Structure 1
C-alpha cells in the first residue's frame, strides 16, 4: 500500500508542476487552486508512504516520478525539445527509480 501511495504522490507532483505553468504566476484562480490542491495531496501522500518506506528511497522515487512525468508532459503539452540526449537522461532517472525500488 505504501508503494501505491508513493506512486500517487508522484502523480500529484507531476500535476502541480504542470499546473504551475497554467497558473501564469498565480494570476489565474482556478489553475492556482488546483495546483495548490495537488501540492497538498502530493505532500500528504508522501508523508503517509513514509510511515513504512525508507526516507531516502521514497523521496528519490517521488521526485523521480515527478521529474520524468513533468519532462514527458513538457514535451507533449509545451513542445519542449525531445533530443536523444535528453531522453537518454530521462532513461537514466527511470533506471535509478527501478534500482531503488528493487533494493528497498
Structure 2
C-alpha cells in the first residue's frame, strides 16, 4: 500500500508539473486548478507515505522519479533535446536513489 501511495504521489506531482507548463504562467484557470490540486494531493500522499518510510528514502524516490519522468516527457511530448549529458544525468539520479535505498534507513 505504501508503494502505491508513493506512486500516486509521484503521478500527481508529474501531472501538476505538466499542468504548470500548460497554465501559461497560471493565467489559464483549468490548468492552474490542476496545478494546485495536483501538488496538494501529491504532498498529502507524501505525508501519508512518511508514516511508514524514512524521509530521506521517500523524498529521494519521489523527487528523482518525478524529475526523470518530467525529463522524459519533455523529450517525447515537447521535443526537448535528449543529449548524452542529459541521459547520463538521469542515470546518475536513478543511481543515487538506488544507493540511498541500498544504504538502508538506519
TM-score in terms of structure 1 length: 0.91
The alignment of Structure 1 onto Structure 2 pairs a total of residues equal to 104
Structure 1 gaps of 5+ residues are none
**Counterpart residue number, 1:14:** 14
**Secondary structure class of the residue paired with 2:26:** coil
**Counterpart residue number, 1:92:** 92
Alignment of 1:34 with 2:26, yes or no, is no
Alignment of 1:62 with 2:62, yes or no, is yes
**Secondary structure class of the residue paired with 2:27:** coil
Cα–Cα, structure 1 residues 65 and 101, in superposed 2: closer, same or farther, change >3 Å? same
Cα–Cα, structure 1 residues 51 and 3, in superposed 2: closer, same or farther, change >3 Å? same
TM-score in terms of structure 2 length: 0.89
CA distance in 2, matches of 1:4, 1:98: 18
- Residue by residue, what CA displacement relative to the aligned partner does 1:22-58 show, whole Å, maximum 9, x if unpaired? 0001111111111211111100110000001001111
Could you tell me how far 1:102 is from its partner in structure 2? 3.9
**Counterpart residue number, 2:73:** 73
Q: Which is worse superposed, 33-42 or 44-53? A: 33-42
Could you tell me how far 1:3 is from its partner in structure 2? 2.2
Structure 2 gaps of 5+ residues are none
Q: Report runs of 4+ in structure 1 exceeding 6 Å deviation.
A: none
**Secondary structure class of the residue paired with 1:67:** helix
CA RMSD of aligned residues (A): 1.3
Could you tell me how far 1:97 is from its partner in structure 2? 2.0
CA distance in 1, matches of 2:82, 2:64: 18
